[in-house]
Structure 1
Amino acid sequence: MHTILPFLLAMIAVIVLLTMWAAKLRIAYPILLVVAGLLISFIPGLPQVKIDPDLIFFIFLPPLLFEASWSVSFKEMKKWWRMIGSFAFLVVFFTALSVAIVAHQFIPGFTLALGFLLGGIVSPPDAVSTGAITKFVKIPRSTSAILEGESLLNDASSLIIFRFALVAVGTGQFVWQEAATNFLWMVTGGVGIGLLLARFFVQAHKRLPTDASSDIALTLIEPYFMYWVAEELHCSGVLAVVSGGLFMSANRLNFLTSASRIQGFSVWESFVFILNGIVFLIIGLELPEITEGLHDQGVPLRTAINYGIVVTGVLIGARIISAYAAMLATLIFRPNVLPRAGSIKRRLLMPVLLGWTGMRGVVSLAAALAIPITLDSGVAFPQRNLILFITFIAILLTLLVQGLTLPYIIKRWRLFDGLVDEESEELTRRKMKQGLKQHVYQFMKGKYENELNGHVGMEKFLKQWEERSKATDDSWMNDKTKLIFVELLESQRQYLSELNKDPKIDEDIIRQQLYQIDLEEERLKII
């Protein structure tokens, strides 16, 4: 304990420093973290980082998925659900199938079941990597919504493949009827359990005398509980966390106070940042142990690298082919729901871009490390070290090759020139704020018209919201005006919630304004 604790603290310090360096270099921080972990692993005398395979999913996945479900725009997910569904399920299945066939044909000793196991591990793209990379370039709201929504659901589909492949490897058989029934239960049961528990947690937050600290503590527990209950009932823990997180995110204004939302945002941002950083460092730190296992297995390092390169090529190719197939199907059956492209050239190149966003990361590593060391019979799990190594190569290559070139491709091909209208976003903000001012004025005039006449404090109160005065003198704010102030803030939240139903309004802009209202309410408490 006395040796591992300083090492863990040093890992966090390295994560922070490398993230700052990545921001200065304008590259995605997961790239630097993986390379740094690989270099650190060669330092002699460092303790080996070992994580129990049975706990790898439970430690990292629930909070990462829960936070992602709170960040994604549910309105945009509903709008682009066809594209998101096809990428999250059909593309993942096609990718896993492609990897299974290629691995079975070209890797000696790889059965079709082992191929599907590898395919399930490496098929889901990593949301953290894509988000970290695309923040350096402007992309349309529709594209980011598709990528974010896909990242939430593709983990579930890939892990379902992973679980069935594990059973097939362990038992040597695969019963389609039983698999179909289990698949249906995993999906419906996972979503149902997630929604049921989310409703319970919402009521718990409402009815219990919680403050900001206890609210945040509960939100840290909730994703783990959702995941654990679903897995105990043999459902998809991933879908439980995602569905529950989306439900709670949509109702956050109903059960969390402004203090809980503000402080919770900071706590969760830091918590998820550390978790992601640790995982990407572990990816690099695990390599020496994996290569030792390859040596013991008698697989030459160069041969294993070649296998990894081939599988990575299959991943990229399958995703690009799937993107073109999805575009073609949408053009034929639902041409009106295609994202705006602007020109034929852009429309033809867009699937290449979507295919090139398939960086692998956290989920692939977690799945690979979760492979048991031995089968139930006590025999060593076949090809475990080779699967781990191929997964590492796929993560490393997609991060380095795709991650470093994606911003350049977007800028060089000018795919989104004219599609990302910053002036339009700024105009939307101005219109929203003007609408809020008008809403405030009508609210005050309609409900407190008598108090406004001749009352200095109320006149100042109205002026402060109508003109957003910069004066710092808050001596006029008494208990009466504070109550009205809070009521007015709540009225603004309701106005923004209604405004968010407009499909043309970017939900991120609404959330930013809601955050400002929360800050205003907290400022009021210290006056």
Structure 2
Amino acid sequence: METITIVLLLLLAVILSGIFSRMVPLPLPRPLFQIALGAIIGMAADWRVTLDPEIFFLLFLPPLLFLDGWRIPREELFKDGKTIVELALGLVIFTVVGMGFFIHWMIPAMPLAVAFALAAVVSPTDPIAVSAIAQRVPIPKRMMHILEGESLLNDASGLVCLRFAIAAALTGAFSVQNAALNFLWVALGGIAVGAGVTWIVGRTKQWISRRYGEEGGSQILISLLIPFGAYLIAEHLHCSGILAAVSAGLTMGFVEARGELEATTRIRRNTVWDVIQFTANGIIFVLLGEQLPEILASSAETVRMTGHHEPWWLAIYVVAINLGLAGLRFLWVWLSFRMTLFRAGQWRTTPNWRIVAAMSFAGVRGAITLAGVLTLPLAMDDGSAFPARDLAIFLAMGVIITSLIVASIGLPWLLNGLQMPAEHDLQAIEDATRIRAAEAAIAEIEKVQHSLAEGRADADLYVSAAARLMDAYRQRIESRAGNAESNALGRRSEEIERSLRLAALRAERTQIFRMVRKRELGSELARKLIRELDLVEARYATTG
């Protein structure tokens, strides 16, 4: 009963965080409100949620990483693939080495292996936190795609570094060759498992649907089970379950490209996944805040490990680690941009410092860091306590909160008026795609009309209905097929028509609900009519 109460309280905190984030005029991301509400719950109630890292990873990360991989624009990911790999692999190793030595130098009481473990868990950025920041800060699209790709792929490299740091702390031995070979197996094996599971499930599902028909509920449930299956199989084979979930999501985009799923199933599935994403994201940060009171309660004892007695030394360490992370990230991003410009033959061009600084500030830490630091063992092989474990957890928690606050404040200032390099004209591509789709629709209408009307007495009804539909499609082609000025006028006309249609649809729905309240219309028929209006409105609302 207590577990159910805690779950309901966490869900309530997620709902309230969304309300508070909209009430506050400052551009603060929702995770900060969720952390604050979690801390209030932790201080006000005697309940404590014991976070088992393995369960935490399994429940939250596979579906969220799968969804991010599924929805990320694959073309943009591959276009900036070199930059993303440099950040996801090179920057992580650079950060682990640099911050490991820095933390050990700053806090000699923390053994070097533990310092490397802490550096490993704070090195990966978090896709969940990055997405939360982007909801309140207008990050340019290409920069956002690079950040999303980096945060999806750098988890495996950071967690592999963590695994070897823990092994070195427990055994006192470390082998670069074994680490490199293990990393290749963990990374490539995870990618292969995720892609293989999704492809097999997708092809099997499509074969069954073509042969025996489609059931929407089963299709949605299958999409929910795929990330968990890929994660568990990869972990069983000692590969990266995280990379398996990401790879499964990317592969899902290719599998679904055939478009064989029914439209209503896609709508329902998207709704289910949106709810899961919103709920899981929120619970992660509420749980993070719920752990804060317990960690702060032991801060006095924790600070004594460092040889000091004043608790504010912990704040100094957190700030120093964040500055170190930002400095290393700034340096690496600058060098990466220089290499990109050099490969493009623009070796005399200097990277824009504001773009480099924005990429550095956007390196937000989140759930991956929290879950990773909690995997530190409680005891050594000889039964003694694992050195500086509480201190490492406190510092990791401080890094998460500080990076969120700094990104929320720094990114709007850095991105204000920032001129990004020119990107492809997506509007021209959209216009051309709409024209080709409309031409295909006209051809299909003509073919179907002739086949249906042949030999029928009411053939003129088919002709008139087809003519009305084809006129609508021809109007769409004309509005998109002219020069730039006429295209702009056509789009403006579409926007006006869209506004009028939305107003008319809302008026229809209001009238139907009014008739239901007056008992002039039954609820079953009302639900059918409202659903039709909702689907039409969703179509026009998403084109705005």
Question: Smaller-chain TM-score range?
Answer: 0.7 to 0.9
Residue matched to 2:487: none
Contact 1:92 1:124 in 2 (8 A): yes
Q: 1:394 aligns with which of 399, 423, 432?
A: 399
Distance 1:448 1:95, change over 3 A: same
Residue matched to 1:219: 223
Residue matched to 1:512: none
1:312 aligns with 2:322: yes
1:350 aligns with 2:355: yes
Give the superposition deviation at 1:235.
1.0
- State the one-letter code of the partner of 1:38: A
Q: Distance in 2 between matches of 1:466 and 1:20?
A: 45
Q: Distance in 2 between matches of 1:387 and 1:76?
A: 36
- State the one-letter code of the partner of 2:344: R
1:231 aligns with 2:231: no
Where 1:41 maps in the other structure, the secondary structure is: helix
Q: Mean alpha-carbon deviation: is it higher for 233-242 or for 54-63?
A: 54-63
1:4 aligns with 2:17: no
Deviations 1:82-102 (A, max 9, x none): 111111111121122221011
1:277 aligns with 2:295: no
1:366 aligns with 2:367: no
1:242 aligns with 2:246: yes
Residue matched to 1:168: 168
Contact 1:190 1:239 in 2 (8 A): yes
Residue matched to 2:99: 99
Give the superposition deviation at 1:398.
0.8
Larger radius of gyration: 2
Q: Distance in 1 between matches of 2:106 and 2:160?
A: 25
Where 1:251 maps in the other structure, the secondary structure is: helix
Alignment of 1:55-134 (within 5 A): 55-134=55-134
Q: Distance in 2 between matches of 1:442 and 1:317?
A: 59
Where 2:365 maps in the other structure, the secondary structure is: coil
Where 1:467 maps in the other structure, the secondary structure is: helix
Residue matched to 2:523: none
Residue matched to 2:505: none
Deviations 1:363-401 (A, max 9, x none): 111111222222344322221111110011101111112
Deviations 1:271-296 (A, max 9, x none): 12111111111111112222344444
Residue matched to 2:517: none
1:415 aligns with 2:425: no
Q: Distance in 2 between matches of 1:217 and 1:368?
A: 32
Distance 1:186 1:465, change over 3 A: farther
Q: Distance in 2 between matches of 1:418 and 1:235?
A: 38
Contact 2:445 2:466 in 1 (8 A): no
Distance 1:460 1:319, change over 3 A: same
Q: Distance in 2 between matches of 1:368 and 1:206?
A: 41
Distance 1:383 1:335, change over 3 A: farther
Q: Distance in 1 between matches of 2:421 and 2:185?
A: 45
Residue matched to 1:267: 272
Alignment of 1:17-28 (within 5 A): 17-24=16-23, 25=25, 26-28=27-29
Residue matched to 2:14: 15
Contact 1:437 1:466 in 2 (8 A): no
The TM-score, its normalising length taken from structure 1, stands at 0.81
Contact 2:13 2:38 in 1 (8 A): no
Q: Distance in 1 between matches of 2:165 and 2:53?
A: 16
Q: Distance in 1 between matches of 2:337 and 2:22?
A: 34
Distance 1:54 1:128, change over 3 A: closer
Distance 1:459 1:151, change over 3 A: farther
Distance 1:256 1:438, change over 3 A: closer
Q: Distance in 1 between matches of 2:297 and 2:75?
A: 48
Give the superposition deviation at 1:447.
6.8
The TM-score, its normalising length taken from structure 2, stands at 0.78
Q: Distance in 2 between matches of 1:392 and 1:462?
A: 64
Q: Distance in 2 between matches of 1:335 and 1:277?
A: 45
Give the superposition deviation at 1:357.
0.5
Contact 2:14 2:283 in 1 (8 A): yes
Give the superposition deviation at 1:36.
2.5
Q: Distance in 1 between matches of 2:461 and 2:283?
A: 57
Q: Mean alpha-carbon deviation: is it higher for 367-376 or for 313-322?
A: 367-376
Distance 1:396 1:257, change over 3 A: same
Contact 2:191 2:247 in 1 (8 A): yes
Q: Distance in 2 between matches of 1:467 and 1:50?
A: 59
Where 1:286 maps in the other structure, the secondary structure is: helix
Deviations 1:318-342 (A, max 9, x none): 1111110101111222348x9xxxx
Give the superposition deviation at 1:65.
0.7
Contact 1:99 1:119 in 2 (8 A): yes
Distance 1:376 1:214, change over 3 A: farther
Contact 1:84 1:149 in 2 (8 A): yes
Q: Distance in 2 between matches of 1:134 and 1:324?
A: 22
Q: Distance in 2 between matches of 1:245 and 1:288?
A: 36
Give the superposition deviation at 1:232.
1.2
Give 5+ residue unaligned stretches, structure 2.
476-531, 540-544
What fraction of aligned residue pairs are identical, expressed as a percent? 29
Q: Mean alpha-carbon deviation: is it higher for 457-466 or for 138-147?
A: 457-466
Give the superposition deviation at 1:303.
2.2
Distance 1:304 1:77, change over 3 A: same
Give the superposition deviation at 1:73.
0.7
Where 1:145 maps in the other structure, the secondary structure is: helix
Alignment of 1:373-384 (within 5 A): 373-384=378-389
Distance 1:418 1:335, change over 3 A: closer
Q: Supply the RMSD in Å over aligned alpha carbons.
A: 3.0
Q: Size of the alignment, in residue pairs?
A: 465
- State the one-letter code of the partner of 2:216: A
Contact 1:140 1:416 in 2 (8 A): no
Give the superposition deviation at 1:133.
2.3
- State the one-letter code of the partner of 1:329: M
1:435 aligns with 2:436: yes
Residue matched to 2:334: 324
Deviations 1:222-277 (A, max 9, x none): 21111111111111111111112211122214364333321111111111211111
- State the one-letter code of the partner of 2:281: N
Give the superposition deviation at 1:345.
8.5
Alignment of 1:182-221 (within 5 A): 182-208=182-208, 211-221=215-225
Q: Mean alpha-carbon deviation: is it higher for 33-42 or for 97-106?
A: 33-42
Distance 1:417 1:228, change over 3 A: closer
Distance 1:206 1:84, change over 3 A: same
Give the superposition deviation at 1:468.
6.2
Give the superposition deviation at 1:469.
11
Q: Distance in 1 between matches of 2:217 and 2:445?
A: 34
Q: Mean alpha-carbon deviation: is it higher for 10-19 or for 433-442?
A: 433-442
Give 5+ residue unaligned stretches, structure 1.
471-515
Where 2:120 maps in the other structure, the secondary structure is: helix
- State the one-letter code of the partner of 2:418: L
Q: Distance in 1 between matches of 2:474 and 2:18?
A: 39
Deviations 1:177-225 (A, max 9, x none): 2112111111221111112211221123223455121122122222111
Distance 1:377 1:292, change over 3 A: farther
Give the superposition deviation at 1:317.
1.1
